[in-house]
Amino acid sequence: MTPAGAAPPASAPAADDSGDLAALAKGGRTNTLGFVVRLIARIPFLVIATRLYGAEALGRFASALVLIEIVALICSLGEKRGLAQRLSVGAGEDRARETNLVYDGLLLALGYSAVAAAVLLAFPDPMFPNGMNSPLDIWLVATIPAFAVTEILLAAQAYRFDIATTVRARAVVEPWTISIAAGVFFFIPATREAGLALAFIASIYAGLLTALWPFLRSYGLPKGWHPQARALAKISSRAFPIIGADAIERGTRLLDIFILGLFAPPQAVGIYYAAQQIASLPQKLKTSFEPILSPVITKNLRIGNMGAIAAQVRQVGFWIIAVQLGIALVLGVPGEAVMGLWGPDYVAGTAALALLLAAEVAASMAVVSESVLVYIARKRNLALSVAIIALQAVLTIAFILIAQHYGLGQGFQAAGAAGALLVALAVSSLVKSLLLSRLLGASIGNWRWALVHAAAPAVVVGYAFTFMPEWIELLLGIPAVLGVYALVIWRRGFSEDDKVLFRKQDAPASEPDPVSTV
């Protein structure tokens, strides 16, 4: 999907990357397990939300989450990717200094979150373009500070190579809490209409507590901490390009819902949201590599080893596209049966599901490239991100209006939004990978023809199962598709370095090296 760049420069410092590869593989295994757990935990929520609450209530809930998630992400100051560099530069080997720097970020996040929550509490209309399910929905603003603080806590743990906390919070506690709470609130008359919003609030705070306990054990309370206004202002200003990139990257997954909420009825938003919740799981897998990739990148930036960074991007990029393509086939080939699980009304979202899954595969290289660009070309990366989301907005509106002009149903309108996302993310991957390849002076391409060789027989097997009853298609067809794809990609696509991802070995226990300001 990405073209080959120039060969690595001969002057690039030689380094033994086996430790970095082990660290990336260990984080990748942990996050792959987290993805499976998250997939299992997300299913009960979707069943409850679609079967009990219905597409209209789900659509209003989804529209409200758009602004909440974007604002919370902005208030986290881009620390998901920026904290590793800030700690490396500002703390070195000083653990107490590390702790104080993290608390600087937490203080800023709480301050920005409080202001943002107060503004939305006073002017809630932008959150609810299709109206509220209940007056209690307004308290979704209470999740903004909790979400922002949790992002920083998890980034701090990832800096010390603790990815398990992220998996527990994001893949176990949050999805199971929202599933259980949504069911409980539905059967309480006083909270039935607000059940989805209240369940989401409960899940975010449960995730916060899950992240807070290991953070306090690892970092403790600050010692001799005296926040200074000038230092806090510097953190805010330096974080702006990363905040913009993070907000836009997440915004590409939320803009379509927002525009659908403005131009389409809430039922269409609900159908699209159900499809997106399935398709976004591969996206969680992709972005979950970022916390463990950031310390490795910053270490190699310190010594100027651009060749090693290119090799790590190629390695992680192939891991991600290989796993994501398998997930897309497993969920996309039997897409009608998968969407039918939520009810007959949701089958109309099958095309949207297929396009969304394809979009996540297309986006794989953009996200990995951006993990490096935010350090070495943050302003150019931000400018490209702005252009991409503008392209997506124009295409989304155009495709929805075309579907409405020709009298096409809600499923076609949802598919139009998904198609716009696919085009935008494909362009993003192409442009950002070209830029990174030129800056590193090395190829970062993650495409291998073995992906086609593995996908082709998997599609044939999956298509054969579509002629059978849906329960057979789901129970037997999905494992068959996965098995065929995994067998071929393992034998024809994975080198010995690739197979490290699936072999348990100890990652290095050393702390990340300091990195110079880039």
The domain segmentation of the chain, as residue ranges, is 18-502
| Cα 469–Cα 470–Cα 473 angle in degrees, nearest 5 | 90
Q: Which H or E element spans position 367?
A: helix 364-376
Closest by CA position to 169, among listed 23, 38, 353, 323: 38
Token pair listed for 18:
């086996």
**434-460 pLDDT, tens per residue?**
999 999 888 887 788 889 999 999 999
In the prediction, which pLDDT does 305 show?
Answer: 78
Angle between helices 290-303 and 18-48 (to 10 degrees): 160
Return the CA Rg of the chain: 22
**Helices within 76-142 (DSSP H only):** 79-91, 95-122
Residues of the chain under the 70 pLDDT cut: 1-39, 81, 89-94, 281-295, 497-518
- Cα angle for residues 231, 232, 234 (degrees, 5° grid): 65
Q: What is the pLDDT of residue 515?
A: 37
216-267 per-position pLDDT tens digit: 998 899 888 888 888 888 888 877 777 777 777 777 777 888 888 888 888 8
Provide the pLDDT for residue 195.
95
Cα–Cα distance for residue pair 91/112, rounded to 1 Å: 24
